[in-house]
Amino acid sequence: MPGLSRKRRVLYISSVYLIFIAVLAMVELGVRLTLPNVPSLDLFVVTSQQKAQVANAQQSGIFEGDPLLLWRLKPNLHDAVWDFTIVTTNAQNLRADHEIKAKAPGAIRIVCLGDSVTFGYRVPPVWPERPTDYDPTWLPYPVLLEKSLRAANPGREIESITMAVPGYTSHQGLAWLRRDIDRLEPDLLIVSFGWNDVSFSEVPDREAIRTTRFSVALRWLVDHSQAFAHATKWLRSRHQGPPVGMQMQVPRVSEQEYVNNMNQIVDLARQRGAGVIVIAAPYRDKTTNPPEAELMARYRRALRADMEQKRIAFLEITELTEAAYPSNLGWFGELIHPNHMGHRLMASELLELFSSQHLNTGLTIPALTP
């Protein structure tokens, strides 16, 4: 544009961009008006293992797509019944009945990072045909911690935040904590991952859940544009891989990656001045699924050795491991998840640990009978 003034060149270029944006907006509107909605959850979750947990007609009721983590809890749920679990969430996609605000001066904030165990799967248990028939005192351990500490310390601002989603691995937990730790400002981080990490999938999480800026940006576009969502769905239909049964099965997170992820989670918290407790992942017995039990034990041993070497508090509750089987049946709902009594045991053990080496903030640490 050699003969145009600078102002005219700017107007010309601006008009080209405006026309391009207008065309995109018209395409988006046309897609939304004429084609069925494609949930981003269905496009983000592609492995059979993950689909079985969070992206199918039976399980997906409380989940939605997340550009960073693939899935998250839907916001603003109120007493939704999901897989015999009653679920309430806030607007921040956390299992809580209130908004998590900026930490007040002098407040004590505990963040419990984890998977379905920390989330409180089937705690309390509830039946869809009787959604109000449950015992409200049967609570996940993060909630028990908050209630116990508040009762013993009237007038103190004490929060325990459940930062946990069913199906998550340490790979997702690390990415989530990197994104939100500065907003949450924990004084103490309690972290537990395990069963999802050792679970077998067609591809490992490092490939299925890429967390580079480019990958997250692409998923953001799919999440916010039905035109991009339909284009992605069409492209995938043209490039389908081999049948699931013919694909190699590998752990979602290898043993070394698991230990590395947990180390990075610990380092993130310590860099912000927070204390850390790592909880060994529960597992009921070694007879139901011996190969999986051996993997769980192996990952646990590797994590324990590394945490002890670095002098990080490592809580392994014997009753919640295969070493206590079959006398531990009363602590479990099924193979993987502690029931309400198991969660009470976890809260009790954590409070005992607090009194010996954590939360040195003048708090009264109560005893909680399991």
Q: What is the pLDDT of residues 172-182, one digit of tens each?
A: 999 999 999 99
**Which of 96-100, 101-105, 204-208, 235-239 has the weakest average pLDDT?**
235-239
Handedness of CA 252, 258, 260, 262 (dihedral sign): positive
Identify the band that residue 13 occupies on the pLDDT scale cut at 50, 70 and 90: confident
Q: Three-class SS of residue 188?
A: strand
Give the mean model confidence (pLDDT) for residues 69-81. Answer: 97
Q: How many CB atoms lie within 10 A of CB 309?
A: 8
Question: Rounded to the nearest 5 degrees, what angle is found at the Cα of 137, between the Cα atoms of 132 and 140?
Answer: 100
Instruction: Calculate the alpha carbon distances from 158 to 148, 163, 218, 219, 270 in Å.
Output: 10, 16, 39, 36, 20
Identify the burial level of 90 via C-beta atoms within 10 angstroms of its C-beta, where 0-12 means exposed, 13-18 middle and 19 or more buried.
middle
pLDDT given at position 129: 86
Q: How many CB atoms lie within 10 A of CB 99?
A: 9
Q: How many CB atoms lie within 10 A of CB 83?
A: 17
pLDDT given at position 237: 84
State the Cα–Cα distance between residues 201 and 48, nearest whole angstrom. Answer: 7
* Residue of 19 and 158 predicted with greater confidence: 158
Instruction: Calculate the alpha carbon distances from 251 to 201, 214, 290, 299, 335 in Å.
Output: 6, 25, 15, 11, 18
pLDDT given at position 242: 59
Write 230-236 long-range contacts (CB < 8 A, 24+).
Answer: 230/31, 230/35, 230/38, 232/43, 233/38, 233/43, 236/43
Q: Give the tens place of pLDDT for each residue, 308-340.
A: 999 999 999 999 999 999 999 999 999 999 999
State the Cα–Cα distance between residues 284 and 197, nearest whole angstrom. Answer: 17
Within its chain, how far is the Cα of 63 from the centroid? 11
Angle between helices 6-34 and 226-238 (to 10 degrees): 70
Structure-token match 């969502």, residue found? 229
Identify the band that residue 280 occupies on the pLDDT scale cut at 50, 70 and 90: very high
**Which of 37-46, 176-185, 243-252 has the weakest average pLDDT?**
243-252
Q: Give the tens place of pLDDT for each residue, 191-243.
A: 999 999 999 999 999 999 999 999 999 999 999 999 999 999 999 888 766 55
State the Cα–Cα distance between residues 73 and 90, nearest whole angstrom. Answer: 9
**Which of 63-67, 209-213, 358-362 has the weakest average pLDDT?**
358-362
* Residue of 18 and 155 predicted with greater confidence: 155
